Amino acid sequence: MDLLAVIARPGAVLTLALALCSAAGPAAARSLSGAALVQALRRGGYVIVMRHAHAPSAPPSAAEADPGNTDRQRQLDQAGRETAVAMGAALRALHLRIGVVWSSPTYRALETARLAGLPPPMTASALGDNGASMQVVKGDQGAWLRAKAAQRPRPGADTFIVTQSPNIIAAFGPEAADLKDGEAMVFHPDGTGPPDLVAKVRIEDWPALAAGR
């Protein structure tokens, strides 16, 4: 089909522009860090999409599995547990108001949310790994996460989402490709299009933010 002929149709330019916007990933925005990031999060209106804390790539043996990990899924190791607890303490010290929390139904994601002391999360299969850890997820799972990151949080609160790396990469592409265990992407949605990515915060950075460093 002749692109010029399509564009010449009434309203075609607007239709094409809207289609391109809807297909876009997270929009570029002024980055936030340090005190500016803390003040922004305290005001609310942000969506924090976090990769679960560190978990070994292999599932635990029967002897190593946590009592609650009856399916012997991947679980956090000592470093993962300690950093999740420290992150939660920092969030409370920062006086951030966490509203809605979403989590993957995987044990390692739920364990991260629990140890961090986040409000009880809602789970969604779209945030899961379909029983195939570290594998590419379905395209509609990425679309679900993109849509959640684009939704405005409750007034004065921030939304928190804990999931796995493949889901985050499926949703946000190259921007998420180097995300480390426990690292978070902070988005500022306006409710009308792709959210602005304003920061990336490693799990070890939260205590430093709470200490004013």
The CATH number of the domain holding residue 47 is 3.40.50.1240
pLDDT in tens, 97-129: 999 999 999 999 999 999 999 999 999 999 998
Inside any domain, residue 159: yes
Residue-level pLDDT at 39:
97
Question: What pTM, to 2 d.p., does this model score?
Answer: 0.84
Share of the chain above pLDDT 90, in %: 77
Inside any domain, residue 175: yes
Inside any domain, residue 169: yes
From 14-28, 39-53, 152-166, 185-199, the region with the lowest mean pLDDT: 14-28
**Which is nearest to 51 in space by CA: 108, 121, 6, 115?**
108
Residue-level pLDDT at 55:
97
CB-based contact 50:183 (threshold 8 Å): yes
Residue-level pLDDT at 181:
97
Q: What's the mean pLDDT in 75-85?
A: 98
Q: What's the mean pLDDT in 66-85?
A: 96
Q: What's the mean pLDDT in 34-42?
A: 97
Inside any domain, residue 19: no
Residue-level pLDDT at 7:
36
Residue-level pLDDT at 136:
59
CB atoms within 10 A of CB 70: 9
Inside any domain, residue 151: yes
Inside any domain, residue 7: no
**Domain range holding 54?**
25-210
Say how many domains are in the chain: 1
pLDDT beyond 50 at 1: no
pLDDT in tens, 127-179: 998 766 556 566 688 899 999 999 999 999 999 999 999 999 999 999 999 99
Inside any domain, residue 82: yes
Residue-level pLDDT at 14:
35
Banded model confidence at residue 16, pLDDT cuts 50, 70, 90: very low
Inside any domain, residue 4: no
Q: What's the mean pLDDT in 180-209?
A: 96
Mean pLDDT of the chain: 87
